[in-house]
């Protein structure tokens, strides 16, 4: 199970005259196994939404809950994939992936098959004993995704996970994520500023405006994807050439542009 | 560094040192520009060194002096590092601890470690305990400063990743906080070892029963420049060897950065 619910959430940074309203009246529900992307310009508060679900920040007003439980602190039921990977450079790939399972007090015999499966899932088997600095950015992010997946979290929180990668690697990782989502569906909250990425990956896209950190609109992608059978297409560029894709992308883009 | 580059550097170092010895020889023995009363020539120094090794000087042989000095330095260094790194971790991690401890630290820091010698001798006498106390005071400071700075410069996402993975407190300290600060901790250890060594030699000059500083002190009273030079040479070589050893440990401990 895993559903996220934002109920009229507001966030204010600082206090008094210097207070900054980052978010206001955010209401959004992510259903179990649903993939929701939030797009918006830099500084719109989209990352703050994710950080509050993770438990790194508290809402100033309103409630956020996962499976009906209010969030009080970070925890392995809400795995985070960070933009800057945030791996432990002194641990090997295996050591990084294993950490969360050791924290759950799993024995070596219990966690070995899980770690091996995660390595296989992300095509990391041959790098199990490498240190992060020996890997490319794309590989490091694979490790971070494996580290999150292996926890078997209720929800997966991805904060611009491909933002630090070069364009080619980024495309490979996007396709990889789609493959993963089909193989092993999860509840995902995905933050990005790339409209293309959001439309390609998500079931629904929430558009955030720059002013007052509100959600302007929520666009349903899943019904279009199913109707137009995007899943039959193997490559991302084939999907992106579909008329239905182009249409969705440009309508979301226009909605964002109106902000400026 | 490749083998050839290392060999080349070693050759350069060797030729610089040989040139120095030749210049020394020329200035003293060959031309007599520097009189041997002021500065001993290489042969006199070599003879003093042999005397120091056996039968010995200032009450003991070289080995006894060196073992005595090294025991004090390593004992003091380890004690200072354990205390200093622990306090540094605490001060880096907890703003509250830093706010309480830092004022004391700021007050005590400008006092040169050697200024503690009179108090140490009053409290603990002329024996080894007083010297260890002074070494600990000197070697403690760089550990605290570098460790706490190291902790404070850890990226926030490293802490967040650790929290997200549900890391319990003790494992967080051992597997996240300490390894993440390790490069800075080693900077502190290197400075600390240097401070420990220089402080020890100075402390032994004031009063000791054995030790390389005692050799220097007795040789000065005996007006024996060749022995002074030999002892200084021993101090230099030992300091260099200790730094080399620590560098080796550091490369092993931080292999994840370069492996």
State the pLDDT at residue B259. Answer: 59
Query: Is pTM beyond 0.90 here?
Result: no
The Cα of A104 is separated from the nearest Cα of chain B by a number of Å equal to 8
State the pLDDT at residue B109. Answer: 85
State the pLDDT at residue B105. Answer: 86
Show the tokens assigned to A11: 């966030």
Report the residue of chain B nearest A98, measured CA to CA. B165
Mean pLDDT of A177-204: 92
Inter-chain CB proximity B182 and A84 less than 8 Å: no
Neighbours of A203 (CB within 10 A): 19
Whether A260 shows a pLDDT value over 70: the answer reads: no
Confidence of residue B145 (pLDDT cuts 50, 70, 90): very high
State the pLDDT at residue A144. Answer: 96
Mean pLDDT of B40-52: 93
Q: pLDDT by residue (tens digit) across B163-209?
A: 999 999 999 999 999 999 999 999 999 999 999 999 998 888 887 88
Q: pLDDT by residue (tens digit) across A121-134?
A: 899 999 999 999 99
- Burial annotation A152-191 (CB, 10 A radius, 16+ → b, else e): ebbbbbbbbbbbbbeeebbbebbbbbbebbeeeebbbbbb
State the pLDDT at residue A182. Answer: 83
Whether A259 shows a pLDDT value over 70: the answer reads: no
First to last CA, chain A: 39
Whether B32 shows a pLDDT value over 90: the answer reads: no
B163 CB neighbours in chain A (<8 A) are 55-56, 73-75
Q: pLDDT by residue (tens digit) across B219-240?
A: 999 999 999 999 999 999 999 9
> What topology does CATH give the domain A4-77+154-257?
Rossmann fold (3.40.50)
Every domain of chain A and the residues it spans: 4-77+154-257, 84-152
Nearest to A190 by CA among A97, A101, A79, A115: A79
Show the tokens assigned to B207: 């009063």
The Cα of B158 is separated from the nearest Cα of chain A by a number of Å equal to 6
Contacts of A175 (CB under 8 A, 6+ apart): A235, A236
Whether B161 shows a pLDDT value over 90: the answer reads: yes
Inter-chain CB proximity A147 and B157 less than 8 Å: no
For the complex shown, is ipTM > 0.95? no
Whether residue B197 contacts residue B240, with contact meaning beta carbons closer than 8 Å, is answered with no
* CATH code of domain B63-254: 1.10.3720.10
């Amino acid at each position: 199970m895993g559903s996220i619910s934002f109920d009229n959430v507001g966030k204010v940074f600082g206090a008094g005259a210097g207070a900054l309203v980052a978010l206001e009246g955010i209401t959004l529900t992510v259903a179990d196994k649903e993939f929701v992307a939030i797009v918006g310009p830099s500084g719109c508060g989209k990352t703050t939404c994710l950080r509050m679900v993770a438990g790194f920040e508290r809402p100033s007003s309103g409630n956020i809950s996962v499976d009906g439980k209010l969030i009080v602190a970070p925890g392995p039921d809400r795995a985070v994939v960070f933009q800057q990977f945030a791996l432990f450079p002194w641990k090997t790939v295996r050591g990084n992936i294993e950490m969360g399972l050791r924290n759950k007090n799993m024995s070596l015999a219990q966690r070995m098959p899980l770690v091996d499966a995660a390595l296989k899932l992300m095509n990391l088997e041959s790098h199990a004993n490498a240190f992060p600095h020996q890997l490319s950015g794309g590989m490091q992010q694979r490790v971070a995704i494996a580290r999150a997946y292996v926890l078997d979290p209720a929800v997966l929180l991805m904060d611009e996970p491909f933002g630090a990668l070069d364009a080619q690697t980024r495309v490979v990782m996007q396709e990889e994520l789609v493959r993963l989502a089909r193989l092993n569906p999860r509840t995902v909250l995905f933050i990005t500023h790339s409209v293309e990425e959001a439309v390609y990956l998500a079931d629904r896209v929430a558009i955030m405006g720059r002013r007052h950190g509100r959600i302007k609109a929520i666009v349903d992608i899943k019904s279009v994807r199913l109707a137009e059978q995007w899943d039959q297409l193997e490559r991302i560029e084939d999907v992106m050439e579909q008329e239905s894709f182009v249409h969705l992308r440009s309508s979301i883009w226009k909605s964002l542009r109106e902000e400026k | 560094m490749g083998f050839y580059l290392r060999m080349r550097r070693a050759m350069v170092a060797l030729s610089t040192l040989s040139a120095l010895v030749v210049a020394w020889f020329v200035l003293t023995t060959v031309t007599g520009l520097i009189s041997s009363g002021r500065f001993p020539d290489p042969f006199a120094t070599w003879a003093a060194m042999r005397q120091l090794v056996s039968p010995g000087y200032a009450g003991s042989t070289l080995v006894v002096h060196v073992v005595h000095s090294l025991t004090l330095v390593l004992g003091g260094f380890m004690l200072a590092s354990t205390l200093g790194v622990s306090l540094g971790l605490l001060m880096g991690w907890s703003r509250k601890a830093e706010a309480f401890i830092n004022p004391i630290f700021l007050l005590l820091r400008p006092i040169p470690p050697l200024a503690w010698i009179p108090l140490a001798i009053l409290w603990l006498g002329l024996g080894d305990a007083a010297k260890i106390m002074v070494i600990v005071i000197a070697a403690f400071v760089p550990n605290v400063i570098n460790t706490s700075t190291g902790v404070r410069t850890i990226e926030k996402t490293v802490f967040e990743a650790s929290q997200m993975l549900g890391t319990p407190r003790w494992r967080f300290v051992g597997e996240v906080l300490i390894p993440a600060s390790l490069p800075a901790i080693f900077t502190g250890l290197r400075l600390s070892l240097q401070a420990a060594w220089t402080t020890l030699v100075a402390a032994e000059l004031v009063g000791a029963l054995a030790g390389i500083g005692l050799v220097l002190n007795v040789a000065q009273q005996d007006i024996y420049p060749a022995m002074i030079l030999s002892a200084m040479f021993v101090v230099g070589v030992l300091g260099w060897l200790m730094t080399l050893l620590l560098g080796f440990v550091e490369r092993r401990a931080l292999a994840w950065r370069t492996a």
